[in-house]
Structure 1
Amino acid sequence: MLGMLTCALSSLSAASFAAPEQINIGYQKANIFALLKYRGTLEETLKKEGIAVRWVEFPAGPQMLEGLNVGSIDLAATGDAPPAFAQAAKADLVYLGHSPTNPKTEAIVVPAASAIHSVKDLKGKRVALNKGSDVNYLLIAALEEAGLTYKDITPVYLPPADARAAFQKGAVDAWVIWDPYLAEVEASTGARQVRNAEGLVPHYTFYLASRKFADGEPETAKKVLDELGTLSNWANEHQDEAAAILAHSTGLNKSVWRTTLTRLPYGAERMSDSVFAQQQTLADAFTRVKLLPVKVDVRSATWSADKK
């Protein structure tokens, strides 16, 4: 009887640490996981271990992180702001890694003939942006750099498609937006940059996981990061091919993606103290302007594999 119990416990232990049969990855049509999906290399790697990959599309980062929180996906990639908002909402996520900084991929733009030529000129103006997004952080930082506050402008919170329409018909004075939408509006309307994120905010893509998945399947999580690193090297060296894939994924012109990729370095690095500190600065900025209702401790989302 004791032997049977020991055998059962051994089987249970083995099952507990076995690789998952499937991982569920959230993606958006324009982010690095979309490129990984279309390339198919992750499936090839994980298939050798009997692990299937299920891709789940989301319209934006906040919805994707809600999916992470409720367990419908295991992994996601978003910009800097969504994880801070998810942490404020008590989502149990961890930071697996990050991309290189890419501050040229987001900017405050105005129509070509606009009288606005500096951030100071935005005082009293209507500025379109996606609330709680990376560009929301850019706007906060740019206003403070110019000696203004968030109360000095009228934010008009719109998703990119609606903001694009409002910008083109003159319903707003400026638009804060990221690539590839930034590259598209510059190419099609001659929109002019007033300020991008260079020298102001770093702008990362973060690779995130549910804590349950990251701590329960650390080796599989590391393999995904390794694949993102390999994919990044390929994409950085084959921008024309990557642009073609992303154009097909998003429906945007390939030339728009070529422009985007010249200012979007891909990469996958593990988290560091300096990156956590920069992310804490972002979270504190959102708390300061009362877009986040509570103070967020970014480091509480440290992956156990990174704890010293």
Structure 2
Amino acid sequence: MVCAMSCAAGDRPWLQELPQFVGRAVETLTYADRVIGQPGMKPMKDLKGKRIGVPEGTSGDMILNIALEKAGMTTKDIQKINMDPSTVVSAFAAGKIDGAGIFYPAIATIKAKVPDLEEVASTVDTGDAFPTAFVAGNKVPETKNAKVIKVLQEANDWRQKHPGGPSRSPPRCSRSPRPRPRPTPPMSGLSPPTSWPPRPGAVRWTPG
């Protein structure tokens, strides 16, 4: 993703804790971070001495540290392995690590492969909400950025009005509906021609 931005191949990726990019801050506190374990590893104590993959410096790293502290543990009690998020996904699914400090939507990808994984700790339980940031490449037009920011602001307004989460599908972004083509009115009193005259220069084929 970082490479895509530097090559101008991606306009608007979502990045977490990347200070080298200039972005716009919109209130997007999330509870998307978890410490997960392989099936059967429910409490944090079960992860003692285990291999835990985590993208260091991210919110996944933060929730791991918080969960360890609440369990009376430190990073010395686990085998902490620094991995990028995509590697965490593949390593956990392959059983090469026992747990991870990671976040959604990467967790959703892991769940598709390991549906009975354990969510050992969550920012929902600890009450720790981490901010995210919207960043764009330097060559993205300001008008395009403004449109995206407006959509994010509308989403934040909806969140403020529904603090308990959606009880139904949230409203879609306000956009002008695409006009539908109008049906051609019938031509009363007229019958379609039995044959069409050839176009100028066209070769007409006669069977036989």
Say yes or no: TM over 0.5.
yes
C-alpha deviation, 1:159, in angstroms: 3.0
- Please state whether the residue corresponding to 2:130 is helix, strand or coil: coil
| Contact kept in structure 2, 1:82 and 1:132, CA below 8 Å | no
Partner Cα separation in structure 2 for residue 148 and residue 131 of structure 1: 18
Partner Cα separation in structure 1 for residue 171 and residue 153 of structure 2: 18
Which of residues 124, 129, 132 is equivalent to 1:205? 132
Partner of 1:128: 53
**Number of residue pairs aligned between Structure 1 and Structure 2:** 162
C-alpha distance 64-95 of structure 1, shift in aligned 2 (>3 A): farther
Say whether 1:195 aligns with 2:146. no
C-alpha deviation, 1:233, in angstroms: 6.8
Partner of 2:33: 106
- Please state whether the residue corresponding to 1:155 is helix, strand or coil: strand
Quick one: which amino acid aligns to residue 166 of structure 1? A
C-alpha distance 76-182 of structure 1, shift in aligned 2 (>3 A): closer
Say whether 1:176 aligns with 2:101. yes
User: How do 1:216-295 residues align onto structure 2 when only pairs under 5 Å count?
Assistant: 224-230=148-154, 238=169
> Unpaired segments of 5 or more residues in structure 2?
160-165, 174-208
C-alpha distance 64-239 of structure 1, shift in aligned 2 (>3 A): farther
Partner Cα separation in structure 1 for residue 13 and residue 93 of structure 2: 32
TM (norm. structure 2) is 0.58
Quick one: which amino acid aligns to residue 96 of structure 1? A
Partner Cα separation in structure 2 for residue 180 and residue 172 of structure 1: 19
Which of residues 15, 25, 33 is equivalent to 1:78? 15
Partner of 1:271: none
Q: Comparing both structures, which one devotes a greater share of its residues to helix? A: 1
Deviations 1:208-244 (A, max 9, x none): 468x99xxx7x986554223223667897646989xx
Partner Cα separation in structure 1 for residue 73 and residue 4 of structure 2: 32
C-alpha deviation, 1:127, in angstroms: 0.1
Quick one: which amino acid aligns to residue 102 of structure 1? T
Partner Cα separation in structure 1 for residue 33 and residue 94 of structure 2: 21
Say whether 1:118 aligns with 2:46. no
> Unpaired segments of 5 or more residues in structure 1?
1-57, 243-308
TM (norm. structure 1) is 0.42
User: How do 1:38-53 residues align onto structure 2 when only pairs under 5 Å count?
Assistant: none
Partner Cα separation in structure 2 for residue 169 and residue 220 of structure 1: 40
Quick one: which amino acid aligns to residue 105 of structure 2? P
RCO higher in structure (CA 8 A, sep ≥6) = 2
- Please state whether the residue corresponding to 2:120 is helix, strand or coil: strand
Partner Cα separation in structure 2 for residue 155 and residue 171 of structure 1: 13
Q: Percent identity?
A: 23
CA RMSD of aligned residues (A): 3.9
- Please state whether the residue corresponding to 2:149 is helix, strand or coil: helix
Partner of 1:157: 82
Partner Cα separation in structure 2 for residue 121 and residue 167 of structure 1: 16
Say whether 1:96 aligns with 2:25. yes
C-alpha distance 202-66 of structure 1, shift in aligned 2 (>3 A): same
Partner Cα separation in structure 2 for residue 71 and residue 167 of structure 1: 31
Partner of 1:250: none
- Please state whether the residue corresponding to 2:26 is helix, strand or coil: strand
Bigger Cα Rg: 2
